Structures are given as structure tokens and as C-alpha cells.
Amino acid sequence: MDNIIAGILIVLIAIYMGLPFLLTRICGWGVFRKARRKRAHRHVAFTFDDGPDPDYTPELLDLLRERGVKATFFVLGSKAEKYPELVKRMHEEGHQIGIHNYTHMPNWVMTPRNIRREHVERSADIIERITGERPTFYRPPWGILNMGDLFLLRKSYRLVLWSIIARDWKLDTGECNLRKLLSERIEPGSVIVLHDSGDTFGADREAPKQMITVLRDVLSETHRRGLKCVRTDELMKLEHAV
């Protein structure tokens, strides 16, 4: 009997955690990861997770403003609550703001009800109070969704992952490797995920400084290649244009 119960639990856990990973990360079902090259018309989307951060987000916003780039920030509700002036600046400068949970907790260890009420809706309320606009795009920490998310969150939010991730949260990636990885992989339709805060689990505190240094060069290169940087919602519109 114990073996049967253990087997049932393993199957349920596999369905709750493993099936969404297969559907979203491997198959791309139910999430937006990139626009098709023919639809993208030489557009790409830079996205930034884990902020806002009082040390690095202002520097990043300065760079984006200098280059005339619009991006998408998936912010943590707890940090938006703590640094509302940075969220307000993002909004006023034309960037899209999405939700990245209230704290950087993986969805696998929470119930769908808890995620929706205590993380997503709570963060949406905070952002709406600051900007006057309710966010409708959501990216879970580490890109991890559970089975409930696919049914509950997709009713109200667009789920966004990425096509390019560059391990920019670790200093040992190095400027050269980070620059090379981004330069080689960025193509029309790409959704690039970077991080403007280094205080989440597994990240190096000073890593965003390295990322911003590299991003300065990468933005210059994308401009030379004739690629235009847009918000995720704008790239998605191109993908679904008739």
C-alpha cells in the first residue's frame, strides 16, 4: 500500500511540476518566448527581471534612455513597493512593466491559489497604484510554472518566458563570454532576459554592473545590424499581426 501511495504521489508531482515544464519550456505551449523571424521585421525585445534595484536600475534606465530603447521590466512586487519612484520612472519613460511575483519564490513550492492572490494579484495592485496602469504580463521566477498556473493565470495574464538567457547573474560568466553569447544569439524576434538586480538566490550582488557594461556594447551592435529594440507587448503584436 505504501508503495502504491508513493507511486501516486510521484505521478502527481510529475504532472504538477514536470508537465508544465515540458509544455512551456520545451514545447513553448501557452507562453510567449519569441516572435517568428518573418513576423518580427527585425525587432527584438530586451527584458529585465528581479528589480527594481536602487543601485543598478537607475543606471540601466539611463542607458536605455540614452539609446532610445524601450524594454520590459518584470518586477518583484515587494521591491516595487519599496522603490515606487523607480517603477514610476520606468512607466513614465515608456517601458512596459510586468509581474515577477511578490518575492522571488519558485512556483513549484506554492499552491496556484497562493501564487495568484499573494504574488500576482498583490503585485499587480502595487504596480497599478504607482503607475495607474494594471500589468497584464507575467513571468514566473526561474521561468517555473506549475499546472495550476497554466489554467488560472492564463485567463488574465500573458505568460512570457524568453528565447535567450545569458547567465548574466554570475560574475564568472565574464564580460567577454556574455558579450559573445548575446551577440551570436540575438536575431529578429528574440526575447532576451537579463537581470537588473543581483540579490536573489544564486546571483552575485555585483553582476548587474557587468551586465550593464556589456549591454552598452550589445545595444550598439544591434543598432548597427538594423535591429530595433521594442517592448514585449509590441513584439507580440507583430507576431500576431494579420
Measured CA to CA in angstroms, residue 50 lies from 78, 106, 182, 201 at distances of: 10, 13, 19, 11
DSSP collapsed to 3 states, 141-189: HHHCCCHHHHHHHHHCCEEECCCEECCCCCHHHCHHHHHHHHHHHCCCC
Q: Which one is predicted more confidently, 204 or 240?
A: 204
- CA Rg, the chain, in Å? 18
- Give pLDDT tens digits for 55-106: 999 999 999 999 999 999 999 999 999 999 999 999 999 999 999 999 999 9
**108 forms bridges with which residues in the sheet?**
none
- The phi and psi torsions of 43 (rounded to 5 degrees) equal -105, 145
For the chain, the distance separating the N- and C-terminal CA atoms, rounded to the nearest angstrom, is 56
Position of cell 512570457? 160
Q: What is the pTM of this model?
A: 0.94
pLDDT band at 152 (very low <50, low <70, confident <90, very high): confident
Give all domains of the chain, ordered by start, each with its CATH number. Answer: 2-240 (3.20.20.370)
Q: CA-CA distance, 62 to 30, in Å (whole number)?
A: 34
Report the catalytic residues.
49, 195
Cis omega (within 30 of 0) on the bond before 140?
no
